[in-house]
Structure 1
Amino acid sequence: MATYNFIYFASASTVIFYNKCKHTVWPGIKPSAGEKLLAGGGFELPANKSHTIQLPPLWSGAFWGRHGCTFNKYGHGRCTTGDCGGYLSCNGSGGSPPATLAEFTLGPLDFYDVSLVDGYNMAISIKPVKGSGNCSYVGCVSDLNQMCPVGLQVMSRNGKRVVACKSACSVFKLPKYCCTGLFGNPISCKPTAYSKIFKTACPTAYSYAYDDPTSIFTCSKANYIVTFCSHHRR
């Protein structure tokens, strides 16, 4: 069992990335506009290893996992899923969908969520540590690649297995799936047959753009563990 040593700050949080996958993961980091870039935007995280980053006060942004990556000594290469322009250090670029996102907005009250709005490529969970308030464990720890509808599947290079599951928006590009146009509000944009598959498998994750009531969580003065391929809450 891994042991975590946290450093506590009055106005900043620490996030530990923990890889419980059987393979290496390359976490990507995308800060929101105007926010500080952390760890160059990406790094390598071998199986069963952890990596700690201090988040600046009031920071906001998203984390995701990349897999199947190959980089040369200059940090140039490509990932099977979650690629950010062919670089190890994403340098502010987001991951190419589909990718499961862990999103944070820090403040006196932190907001955090796991989002499948841009699709799914691997299980991710967020666990607050020693915060105050509701501070719920959240995540998508089901393997959605195994239940992904045929039309949304991303196959491996050899075509033998599903490595990611696209969002219906990215495939069909219709307003009812993308929550755009006449569907650009929470009243008209409702769950679809595709988003319901995601929601059933991962009840605490965002399954579509206006899935707020059951998908966004809050905590104060916490540190966080972001785990890849976690299939257990404890």
Structure 2
Amino acid sequence: MSDTASVLTLDGDHNFNAYIARPQTAPKAAIVVIQEIFGVNAGIRQKCDKLAEDGYLAIAPDLFWRLKPGIELDPDVEAEFQEALDHMNNFDQDQGVKDIQATINHVRRTDDVSKVGCVGYCLGGRLAFMTSARTDVDASVGYYGVGIDGLLGEKNAIAAPLMLHIPTEDGFVDKDTQAAMHEGLDDHPKAILHDYEGLDHGFATEIGKRRNEAAANLADSRTAAFFAKHLT
């Protein structure tokens, strides 16, 4: 069952929408699904729906709401891809993490779940790392997060388990960045990194040309086991 939730910002001055998918029975935990640069589109909603089928309450906040509420773009359409890049460049990531914390607070308050995790993709993968360092989330997963090397100074603030999925031929994350991520996090007691040889950015998308079925299923199975261990 899916619905739209209204989430109160941390300062209490505004509300923003979030797509929410609920399991058929009481949720075993909640997971915040953090969008790519394409907004809460059909692929992100499908991620939520699949998590709900697995027994989780899944919620995807519209993090671009301050730019324009309800943005939905298709990465396979060049004009929409370019529009998404513009939105990313204008997006306040620090404020976005605060909206993720507000979403965590919302599900804890309204749905009486004891644990809340997050999973993010692309920009959302970066935000998942930031969420692990800056919020009280219980577990975080990031897929092909961009620019994480520049955030490694925050790694000592990571208190809950973190998993990162890293395609080795990511056109947005070069080899030096990947090496810095491993150097900074391989010995972190809360972090685990998985490399996907020969794969590019977006390999685990639900919809579109970027998906690699075998690798997506492998990464998602690792994510499922990770959340089962740390959230249930």
TM-score, normalised relative to structure 1: 0.29
Q: Which has the higher helix share?
A: 2
TM-score, normalised relative to structure 2: 0.29
Q: Which has the higher strand share?
A: 1
| Higher Rg | 1
